[in-house]
Amino acid sequence: MTKETAIKSAFQVASEKYAALGVDVNKAIDSLQKIALSLHCWQADDVTGFENQGGTLTGGIQVTGNYPGRARNIDELRADILKASSYIAGNHRLSLHEIYGDFQGKVVDRDEVEPVHFQSWMQWAKENGMKLDFNSTSFSHPKSGDLTLANPDNEIRNFWIEHTKRCRWISEEMGKYQEDPAMMNLWVHDGSKEVPANRLKYRRLLEQSLDEIFSTPYNYMKDCIEAKLFGIGLESYTVGSYDFYLGYGAKKGKIVTLDTGHFHLTESVADKVSSLLLFTPEIMLHVSRPIRWDSDHVVILNDDLMDLAREIIRCEALDRVHIGLDYFDATINRIGAYVIGCRATQKAFLQALLEPSALLQQYEAEGKYFERLAMQEELKSMPWNAVWDMFCLQNNVPVGDDYIAGIQQYEKEVTSKRN
């Protein structure tokens, strides 16, 4: 029996088992096919970017590890992204930070950046069947410090306001070019190592900055505002907390970004989804994996990810939830990190799509809580992996662990030769 024949045989058995529960596996595959993940470009180069300023990361974030083969320029970054994409089923997006502009070796400060600096990215993405999302970049700059959009110094604050305005403009042009709105994520690290004398002061400044930034309406981009619990060296106070952005998003109709690494480890990010869907237009996800802090470990198929995927599917909210990845692990092969995280996220959504929602809701409505819990436990041993293998086969990407050898070969031939 060939491997392909074995996959098809296992899929047939799985299809019959799920059908007995009222689940159409082909419908689940079709739904998964339509889920476009937004890959984060910064995994391939440790959030270095192309500003030619050098230096280390600042602004409360940190990359750990120094595995050989980091992308050193725009061509290497693009090659690595395409290589990673070749192992990921489906058509996906690419999320760029502003520091990844095609600056052609010129120094372009962040309050001077324009759409022209991302024109080659737009063309490249279109040629490769990808669409773009965007992020303003407040960290790792001489004017970053501890405060940007919440800075009492008008010169510094206005610098970052202008930067963010230009990022929205760039996002709008991206959206026009690709005929699909670009998600423009705004995250600033603003905070304090110790508790400030007046918390309200800085949050009022941030609100005023946001109001000015969002005063220009656009049609081909969507604004997302991202909270954080704390940053390294800024542990006691974060201006843009979850409460701040939840209030701002609900009041002003903005999309709130839920980064799964930006909350206390005992919080359930999945539980926040249904509330946000009631009061904000859409949700942006940054899927990460925190270990004791926002350490941006590679996403794996764990309970937190499963809960998040199930909640989105149960809410029938795929059309209102945008799924991006956000981690940067430099301790292992960076392309492998891409592939592991993306495939894990897809596996979580596939299992959620294979859940017999109608049956579970019927049990619940009839007060049959034993039956509901029993079914949820039995689902854990259902042959979802056979459906996953078929999904990969249909998309002509490696099945099972076959991608490992391909990534090893690329490392041997390409990334290991980078100094």
Task: List the CATH number of the domain containing 152.
Answer: 3.20.20.150
Q: Is 322 a catalytic residue?
A: no
Q: Is 271 a catalytic residue?
A: no
**Residue 53 in this model has a pLDDT that exceeds 60:** no
Backbone angles phi, psi at 189, to 5 degrees: -85, 0
What does the pLDDT average to over 256-260?
97
* Band of pLDDT at residue 65, cut at 50, 70 and 90: confident
Q: Which strand (E) or helix (H) includes residue 132?
A: strand 131-135
Helix (H, G, I), strand (E, B) or coil at 48: coil
Question: In the chain, how many domains are there?
Answer: 1
* Band of pLDDT at residue 55, cut at 50, 70 and 90: low
Q: What are the CA-CA distances from residue 182 to residues 31, 129, 224, 303 (Å)?
A: 22, 15, 10, 30
Which residue in the list 223, 282, 296, 311 is annotated as catalytic?
296
Closest CA relative to residue 38, chosen from 345, 353, 399, 410: 345
In a domain, 387, yes or no: no
Query: Taking all residues of the chain, what is their mean pLDDT, rounded to a whole number?
Result: 95
Q: Is 111 a catalytic residue?
A: no
CA distance 406 to 411: 9
Which residue in the list 80, 172, 207, 294 is annotated as catalytic?
294
Residue with tokens 């940067």: 328
What does the pLDDT average to over 134-153?
96
Closest CA relative to residue 35, chosen from 316, 310, 321: 321
pLDDT of residue 64: 84
What does the pLDDT average to over 26-30?
98
Tokens of 325: 């990845």
pLDDT of residue 62: 80
Which residue in the list 286, 297, 322, 347 is annotated as catalytic?
286
Which residue in the list 51, 80, 146, 259 is annotated as catalytic?
259
**Residue 58 in this model has a pLDDT that exceeds 90:** no
pLDDT of residue 232: 87
Q: Is 329 a catalytic residue?
A: no
CB count, 10 Å around CB of 243?
Answer: 10
**Is the distance from CB of 164 to CB of 213 less than 8 angstroms?**
yes
In a domain, 341, yes or no: yes
Q: Is 262 a catalytic residue?
A: yes
N-terminal to C-terminal alpha carbon distance within the chain: 45
Domain that holds residue 327: 37-355
Closest CA relative to residue 186, chosen from 162, 151, 210, 156: 210
Rg (CA), the chain: 22
**Is the distance from CB of 325 to CB of 94 less than 8 angstroms?**
no
In a domain, 247, yes or no: yes
In a domain, 18, yes or no: no
In a domain, 107, yes or no: yes
In a domain, 155, yes or no: yes
**Residue 54 in this model has a pLDDT that exceeds 70:** no
Which residue in the list 124, 187, 384, 388 is annotated as catalytic?
187
**Which of 5-9, 160-164, 344-348 shows the lowest per-residue confidence on average (mean pLDDT)?**
5-9
Q: Is 296 a catalytic residue?
A: yes
In a domain, 29, yes or no: no
In a domain, 316, yes or no: yes
Which residue in the list 51, 80, 226, 389 is annotated as catalytic?
226
**Which of 98-102, 199-203, 291-295, 400-404 shows the lowest per-residue confidence on average (mean pLDDT)?**
291-295
Residues 6+ apart with CB under 8 A from 339: 84, 87, 88, 403, 407
Tokens of 6: 């074995």
CA distance 86 to 223: 30
Q: What is the DSSP pairing of strand 255-259 with strand 321-325? A: unpaired
Which residue in the list 97, 222, 254, 262 is annotated as catalytic?
262
Which residue in the list 190, 311, 326, 329 is annotated as catalytic?
326
Q: Is 401 a catalytic residue?
A: no
pLDDT of residue 231: 87
79: burial class by Cβ within 10 Å (0-12, 13-18, 19+)?
middle
Residues 6+ apart with CB under 8 A from 269: 258, 260, 263, 304, 308
What does the pLDDT average to over 277-296?
93
Classify 184 in phi/psi space as left (phi over 0), alpha (psi -120 to 50) or beta.
beta
pLDDT of residue 187: 97
Distance of CA 415 to the CA centre of its chain: 24
Q: Taking the model in full, what pTM does it have?
A: 0.95
pLDDT of residue 293: 85
